[in-house]
């Protein structure tokens, strides 16, 4: 493959060797008796030159003409000889090898492109042509070929892998819960309804109910990475209608801080692991410059009341018993960064009014809860809590929140046969990738985003 070329020529002591490569035509230009083709395989590029030789035995004029006529992005097989160029090749990722082409076969011809890949690679603040988001997303299969996009989804893959690795190392069991449910778990308005064999059903808004029932079933510690569906009606930079939820749930002995400890260790592990993705981080940085994430170990924990106090000290009046608006969350993120030098922090002990029905009220003050949100750069990536494990209180809270209790009867019943105190959290994968990389829109970290206006490709 292309990426091996430089190592191979070093091994051969700069001796030319014959190659046969499959790659895309990244760029091509003809100049009289020669054609300069830049070949690309994923993000690696190499220059391939076709010279018409004297007797036109190897490369004829016709061949040069043919090579220059092949459309950009076509997939080709090229034969040639890899040599060390007289000077390093400018503009290619592979600089110490050049290919002297002897033949080219078009495997699959590319139709005229909806946009130029070079334009799609341009920094958002740079001069020159840009490709707008809808054009990119309409043609996502081409847009994803850019180095930054290749890197974003490799980093996202690492986020999932590190999450799984860390929890497996702590004896969590990976589970797979149904995505077709009888009712909602997070409240009614953002639920996709559907017919299930003639009955009313909906797409799971989270694995909440099932992951808790797995705890009632004595699995002790469970996690899931899977799709989550929300019928979000408004079009924001951070909401999708389908996203990947990374959830865990576990029993606790004494205190919901045991849950915060797991989150803390998990995320420090993930952030440390992501630092190894140097090439990918650099590729994202080239197109979407961002400040590396600052985080503390252990992570910063503030109570909701401490957050309200910090806001107050900075002239922002926040009701201590009401949820934070997106704007106030951002401001708090900025104030926390200034005061504590961290982009990542946990805010816990949220007011009861701001949390879902299953959240455990604080034992010392029922206006608050044993719950938390976690933020990166002032935006929420995690919600979680200790859960109510008493069926009577759970029923009461579900009714108070206007839930249709008939759809969650079996869930409530599951706590009637002896239930361990427990809790957990849900993490949005696309939000972690977006905010870790300082991207400005969740569509950049969703391979094929589903939002209120987009159902294809
Ligand atoms: P989640 O629903 O996942 O908890 P979230 O980030 O949507 O994650 P919410 O608790 O729903 O968080 O809302 C937090 C704040 O975000 C709300 O106070 C509200 O101001 C804002 N918000 C939530 N949903 C939307 C939306 N669809 N459009 C605009 N703002 C929203
Ligand atoms: P919550 O509703 O806060 O909590 O969701 C958990 C996390 O999922 C992500 N998220 C989203 N990502 C993209 N688009 C959306 N529309 C969207 N909505 C949420 C966020 C959020 O922090 N059952 C609880 C979790 C728990 O308590 O265990 C829940 O679903 O990163």
Average pLDDT over residues 78-88: 97
- Per-residue pLDDT tens for 116-169? 999 999 998 999 999 999 999 999 999 999 999 999 999 999 999 999 999 999
Instruction: Flag whether pLDDT at 56 surpasses 90.
Output: no
Q: Could you tell me if residue 413 is left (phi over 0), alpha (psi between -120 and 50 degrees) or otherwise beta?
A: alpha
- Per-residue pLDDT tens for 238-263? 999 999 999 999 999 999 999 999 99
Kindly report the backbone phi and psi dihedral angles of residue 106, in degrees, each rounded to the nearest multiple of 5, phi listed first: -85, 115
Ligand 1 atom 18: residue of nearest CA: 325
Which ligand has the minimum distance to the alpha carbon of residue 236?
A: 1
d(CA 40, CA 20): 14
Instruction: Give the pLDDT of residue 5.
Output: 95
Interface ipTM: 0.91
Element (H, E) at 313: helix 304-313
For the question of residue 383 being annotated catalytic, the response is yes
For the question of residue 190 being annotated catalytic, the response is no
Residue length, the chain?
A: 457
Instruction: Give the pLDDT of residue 1.
Output: 85
- Per-residue pLDDT tens for 396-443? 999 999 999 999 999 999 999 999 999 999 999 999 999 999 999 999
d(CA 412, CA 397): 11
Distance 65 CA to ligand 2 centre (A): 56
Alpha-carbon torsion, ordered 300, 223, 455, 141, to 10 deg: 80
Angle made by CA atoms 117, 148, 121, in degrees to the nearest 5: 30
Quick one: which atom of ligand 2 is closest to the CA of 240?
Answer: 14
Write the DSSP assignment of 201-258 as a string of letters.
Answer: EEE-S-SHHHHHHHHHTT--EEEEEEEEE----S--SS--SEEEEEEEEEE-SS-THH
d(CA 302, CA 313): 15
Instruction: Give the pLDDT of residue 189.
Output: 81
For the question of residue 238 being annotated catalytic, the response is yes
Ligand 1 atom 30: residue of nearest CA: 326
Taking the model in full, what pTM does it have? 0.95
Distance 330 CA to ligand 2 centre (A): 17
d(CA 414, CA 220): 15
């Amino acid at each position: 493959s292309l990426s091996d070329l430089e190592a191979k020529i070093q091994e051969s002591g700069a001796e030319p060797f014959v190659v046969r490569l499959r790659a895309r035509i990244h760029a091509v230009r003809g100049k009289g008796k020669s054609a300069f083709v830049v070949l690309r395989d994923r993000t690696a590029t190499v220059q391939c030159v076709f010279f018409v030789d004297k007797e036109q035995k190897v490369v004829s004029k016709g061949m040069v003409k043919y090579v220059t006529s092949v459309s950009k992005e076509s997939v080709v097989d090229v034969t040639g000889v890899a040599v060390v160029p007289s000077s390093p090749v400018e503009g290619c990722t592979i600089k110490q090898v050049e290919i002297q082409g002897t033949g080219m076969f078009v495997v699959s011809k590319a139709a005229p492109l909806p946009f130029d890949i070079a334009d799609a690679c341009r920094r958002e603040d740079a001069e020159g042509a840009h490709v707008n988001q809808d054009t990119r997303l309409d043609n996502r299969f081409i847009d994803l070929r850019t180095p930054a996009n290749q890197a974003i989804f490799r980093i996202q893959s690492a986020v999932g892998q590190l999450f799984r690795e860390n929890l497996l190392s702590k004896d969590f069991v990976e589970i797979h819960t149904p995505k077709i449910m009888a009712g909602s778990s997070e409240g009614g308005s953002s639920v996709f309804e559907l017919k299930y064999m003639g009955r009313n059903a909906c797409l799971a808004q989270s694995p909440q109910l099932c992951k808790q029932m797995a705890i009632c079933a004595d699995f002790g510690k469970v996690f899931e990475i899977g799709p989550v569906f929300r019928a979000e009606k408004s079009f924001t930079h951070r909401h999708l209608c389908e996203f990947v939820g990374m959830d865990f749930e576990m029993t606790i002995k004494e205190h919901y801080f045991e849950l915060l400890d797991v989150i803390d260790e998990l995320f420090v592990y993930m952030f440390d692991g992501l630092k190894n993705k140097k090439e990918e981080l650099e590729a994202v940085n080239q197109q979407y410059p961002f400040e590396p994430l600052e985080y503390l170990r252990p992570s910063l924990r503030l109570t909701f009341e401490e957050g309200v106090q910090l806001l107050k000290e900075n002239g922002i009046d926040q009701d201590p018993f009401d949820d934070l608006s997106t704007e106030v969350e951002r401001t708090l993120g900025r104030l926390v960064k200034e005061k504590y030098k961290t982009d990542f922090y946990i805010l816990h002990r949220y007011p009861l009014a701001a949390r879902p029905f299953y959240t455990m009220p604080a034992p010392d003050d029922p206006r608050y809860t044993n719950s938390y949100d976690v933020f990166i750069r002032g935006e929420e990536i995690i919600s979680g809590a200790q859960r109510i494990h008493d069926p009577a209180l759970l029923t009461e809270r579900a009714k108070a929140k206007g839930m249709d209790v008939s759809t969650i009867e079996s869930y409530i019943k599951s706590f009637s046969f002896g239930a361990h105190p427990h809790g957990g959290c849900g993490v949005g994968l696309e939000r972690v990738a977006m905010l870790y990389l300082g991207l400005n829109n969740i569509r950049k970290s969703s391979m094929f985003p589903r939002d209120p206006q987009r159902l294809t490709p």
